Chain A
Amino acid sequence: GESVGLHLPTLSVQEGDNSIINCAYSNSASDYFIWYKQESGKGPQFIIDIRSNMDKRQGQRVTVLLNKTVKHLSLQIAATQPGDSAVYFCAETKIQGAQKLVFGQGTRLTINP
């Protein structure tokens, strides 16, 4: 649903620490999930995706974990850097049938020096 009137949750971590951003998705039928990163004044950019037949996928410094039992998605960022400061969105969809992406509320990550 819409997030009108709601402000983004925030997470602050020290530079060099690992961060974990969580997302609860809404549709148990969703079978494809994506994490996006949005820097201030820019459009969201793809970080990593995962299909429902997997429970973990790793990229460069990022790992996505999927728990279908509780409809939970998380993004782990290792050894955070100042450039990781941004808003992170999760998104879900069902691949078949040209379904729209449904975006989560987003989390603002701040990296402290």
Chain B
Amino acid sequence: DGGITQSPKYLFRKEGQNVTLSCEQNLNHDAMYWYRQDPGQGLRLIYYSQIVNDFQKGDIAEGYSVSREKKESFPLTVTSAQKNPTAFYLCASSAAGGRWLRFYYGYTFGSGTRLTVV
């Protein structure tokens, strides 16, 4: 089955430590996204990538970094510069726009990674 996989499901980070969240998709989607969700709040875009080896900052990119070396993978690193990293992180993918033969232009989401600072 095609899908998008995030790992780990739970992650604990010590103060001053960098951690990397994994996101892998086998949907052959061009675009991938990272969102942050805080309790009782909506989705905020961290980074997105519409093609391999290219990515753009979202609304809250400070303290985060990404890479897109392969179409299937879009890992997110939460750096020590991110002062309040405790949150639920969601990865998503989508076929790039302009695919007129496709009806669904939305995102497929992973199941999320819950990051906690200890």
Interface residues of A (CB under 8 A from B): 2-4, 6-8, 32, 34, 36, 41-46, 49, 89, 91, 93-101, 103-106, 108
| Contact sample, A vs B, 5 pairs, CB 8 Å cutoff | A2-B44, A7-B41, A8-B40, A43-B90, A106-B43
Tell me if A100 and B112 are in contact (CB < 8 A): no
Could you say which residues of chain B place their CB within 8 Å of the CB of A103? 42-43
Q: Which chain A residues lie closer than 8 Å to B40 at the CB level?
A: 7-8, 108
Task: Tell me the residues in window 31-48 of chain B with beta carbons closer than 8 Å to chain A beta carbons.
Answer: 31, 33, 40-45, 48
A113 to B45, CA, bound (A): 36
Inter-chain CA distance A109–B90, complex, in Å, is 21
| B97 CB contact (under 8 Å) in A4, A45, A98, A104 | A98
Interface of A is mostly: loop
Are B98 and A98 within 8 A (Cβ)?
yes
Q: Are A98 and B50 in contact (CB under 8 A)?
A: yes
- Give, as a whole number of angstroms, the nearest-CB distance from A26 to chain B: 13
**A98-B96 in contact (CB<8A):** yes
Asked, given contacts A43-B112, A98-B31, A98-B97, whether A3 binds B106 with beta carbons under 8 Å apart, the answer is: no
Report the minimal beta-carbon distance from B47 to chain A, rounded to whole angstroms. Answer: 11
Q: Report chain A residues within 8 Å CB of B12.
A: none
A96 touches B97 (CB 8 A): yes
Interface residues on chain B, number (Cβ under 8 Å):
32
**CB proximity of A104 to chain B, nearest CB, Å:** 7
Residues on A with beta carbons closer than 8 Å to the beta carbon of B6 = 43
Given contacts A4-B41, A105-B42, 5 further A-B contacts (CB under 8 A): A41-B114, A98-B31, A99-B97, A100-B48, A104-B42
- Least Cβ–Cβ distance between A106 and chain B, in angstroms: 5
Chain B residues whose C-beta falls within 8 Å of the C-beta of A44 in the assembled complex: 43, 90, 107, 109
A46→B106 contact, CB < 8 A: yes
Minimum CB–CB distance for A90 against chain B, Å: 10
